[in-house]
A and B are shown apart, each in its own frame.
Chain A
Amino acid sequence: MIALFDENRHLIEQGASPVVNAAREVATEAFARLGIPSSKVEAYKYTNLQAWFKATYRFTPTESGFSGNIDEVFTCDVDALESYTVFAVNGRYYEGSSYTRLPEGVVIGSFAELSVKHPELMHKFYGKLAPADADGVVALNTLLACDGIFVYVPKNMVVEKPIQVVNILTGDTDRMVNQRNFIVIEENAQARVLFCDHTLSNSRFLVNSVTEGFVDASGNLDFYNIQNQHNGVVQVGGYYFNQETKSVLSANYFTLNTGVTRNNIFARLGGVHAENHISGLYLTDKNMHVDNFSFIDHAMPDCESNELFKGVMDDGSTGAFTGRIMVRPDAQRTNAYQSNNNLLLTDNARMNTRPQLEIYADDVKCSHGATVGQLDEKALFYLRARGIGKEEATILLMYAFAYEVIEKIQLPGLKEQIRLLVEKRFRGELDKCDSCIVCGQLNDKILNASV
């Protein structure tokens, strides 16, 4: 991997922000030391990434490998939700992205370009949250960091319309994608940011993406990740957030389809009276594997965190959940709640769930619960006894199980859309071309237009 970097070094570094380039030094050293984590690394116990990183993928850091026209291949039905939409194709910001005029001062666009234009932000924030020296995947991402999406919302600005980032994987070669994203919500600002992950070609993809998110005092970030990718995708998504005083962060992860997904979701409550809501819903079947690793770090007093992950697991799919909660000595009057509930539809599906609470303050309210269960036979019979077919009744119950997470969505249009997608998914009707918000249906042309 380091050789790969050396080969591409001039390409990767040219035109990049000096801060981003400087961070490669530490990352090189760290990656040489850490490598890709095996399952011997405690945090990666249930997902052996080495197995996946061994396969051969093409890596072209400075080009997306896509030459079509997004507007042509996307035939969008924008009724569902009006949004500012940008595209990233194979990890690179797509220049043809178009959206209606942004509110004054808001910046959305290419990480490569904007990280050069905003050196003050880079100096202040870049690499401050994602641990390039401690996690091999982050080290690799930092080493290869080239482009991605940049979102900046200045002080006191409320962005009404959601900002939608459509991450597209496409092209007819198997590809490694390295994406770096950056979100800054300044003091008292508000935004809703959606990351929608899709694959549009049948190639295999190995995605290593790192997103750093900063929510300043009294800021509010409502973040969503909706993953609907095919089974040939291995994705490690690192989401590293910091929250200041009285800020609110909701981060919601929907894994509707994937091959292997590992989410690293870190949130540091670094100011008093901050509120953190993290939730996730993963629907697995076949031999999918979804591993959500979360770490809520209560560093300051009077904060609250609320975490809910739910999974519906079919066939021989496997999953893992780790919920680390750290309550540091200063973090008095912390409220921290966590639960992980899983519905296993077959005897072959497997789930590992582990809460890990470390509490060093004494005035703390903390609770956690984890369940792994089967469909409620009594409820199933009750529904059937009213004339609802077994399959339909099963879908109703699966949906009922998932619904608690869907209800957390704060955007009405998105909630409705996710409801439909989840239902379609349960019926086995979810197409790889079902985009989340912008597009009810994607055009087949994308498959042909791709390189």
Chain B
Amino acid sequence: MLKIKDLHAMIDGKEILRGISLDVKPGEIHAIMGPNGSGKSTLAAVLTGNEAFEVSEGMVEFNGKDLLEMSPEDRAREGLFLSFQYPVEIPGVSMTNFMRTALNEQRKHRGQEVLSASDFLKLMRDKKNLVEIDSDLTNRSVNEGFSGGEKKKNEIFQMAMLDPTLSILDETDSGLDIDALRVVANGVNKLRRSDNATIVITHYQRLLDYIVPDYVHVLYKGRIVKSAGKELAQELEEKGYDWIKKEFED
């Protein structure tokens, strides 16, 4: 589904990603862990087409297509989704209008018909229940005045609405209390199918108790320095990141 080969990316002339390769297949859950500043969010930004970063080397294939050639909106329409580490507040754009526009643009791209108002509202209701999000949140402007936890829930709500094939969750667990964490994890698990995949970015093992990964990768200084099964997360939890830092200091 996603094939990343030797991906390098920079910002302001500084190389942040220094040769990343990763292969994600349908049905899989990959966890990417690593200390702060190692490049996890940068990887997510580059994959979703944030133009602030410049790709200097490498290639990314998404469902057989060259991902790096596509505009951010086309990547989303092709089924890529990012749950932002820092969701953006957009006063004046209502959640409903935002979701209706996004969903319909995606449907048009896939040659599907635009949803009727009643079908759309029904979908909103169903997905709201799935992620246990407060009804009045969806009546407000996008993320405006939402608490940290509400913003994260709102990301998962959008994911549920858009039904992507590959979701990247960037620190979706940070700032969540245990109940909210359970709700978010539950939502993600319910959306899981054999034909979609998830990349979970986190630096705590906590979330991985609920969303159990098939693979765990450690990203450090712009490289994947270790990959293993879910037991690696356990090990990082017990030993911290210092041993990684020591081992891969350059």
Return chain B residues, CB-CB under 8 Å to A400: 90-93, 141
Return chain A residues, CB-CB under 8 Å to B150: none
**B84 on the A face (CB < 8 A):** yes
**Count the B residues whose beta carbon is within 8 Å of the partner chain — how many?**
31
With A381-B50, A387-B102 as known contacts, state yes or no: A397 contacts B73, CB within 8 Å: no
**B160 on the A face (CB < 8 A):** no
Q: Is the CB of A387 within 8 A of B76?
A: yes
**A382 on the B face (CB < 8 A):** yes
Q: Is the CB of B93 within 8 A of A397?
A: yes
In the complex, what distance in Å separates the CA atom of A384 from the CA atom of B70?
12
**A63 on the B face (CB < 8 A):** no
A409 to chain B, nearest CB (A): 15
With A383-B98, A384-B72, A384-B73 as known contacts, state yes or no: A389 contacts B105, CB within 8 Å: yes
**B224 on the A face (CB < 8 A):** no
Complex interface residues of chain B between 91 and 146 (CB less than 8 A to chain A): 91-93, 97-98, 101-103, 105-106, 109, 141-142
With A379-B90, A381-B50, A397-B93 as known contacts, state yes or no: A386 contacts B71, CB within 8 Å: no
**A430 on the B face (CB < 8 A):** no
In the complex, what distance in Å separates the CA atom of A381 from the CA atom of B109?
18
Return chain B residues, CB-CB under 8 Å to A399: 92-93
Task: Name which residue of chain A comes closest to B103, CB basis.
Answer: A387
Q: Is the CB of B73 within 8 A of A387?
A: yes
Complex interface residues of chain A between 400 and 436 (CB less than 8 A to chain B): 400-404
Task: Name which residue of chain B comes closest to A384, CB basis.
Answer: B72
Q: Is the CB of B76 within 8 A of A386?
A: yes
B12 to chain A, nearest CB (A): 15
**A40 on the B face (CB < 8 A):** no
Contact with A385, one of B72, B89, B141 (Cβ below 8 angstroms): B72
**B87 on the A face (CB < 8 A):** yes
Return chain B residues, CB-CB under 8 Å to A390: 71, 73
**B162 on the A face (CB < 8 A):** yes
A29 to chain B, nearest CB (A): 50
Complex interface residues of chain A between 351 and 388 (CB less than 8 A to chain B): 376, 378-379, 381-388
**A121 on the B face (CB < 8 A):** no
Q: List 12 A-B contacts (CB under 8 A).
A: A384-B76, A386-B76, A386-B98, A386-B102, A386-B162, A387-B103, A388-B101, A392-B101, A393-B73, A396-B97, A397-B90, A400-B91
* Chain A residues within CB distance 8 Å of chain B: 376, 378-379, 381-390, 392-393, 396-397, 399-404
* Chain B residues within CB distance 8 Å of chain A: 48-51, 71-73, 75-77, 82, 84, 87-93, 97-98, 101-103, 105-106, 109, 141-142, 158, 162
A382-B142, A400-B141 known; 4 new pairs, CB 8 Å cut-off, are A379-B89, A384-B73, A396-B97, A400-B92
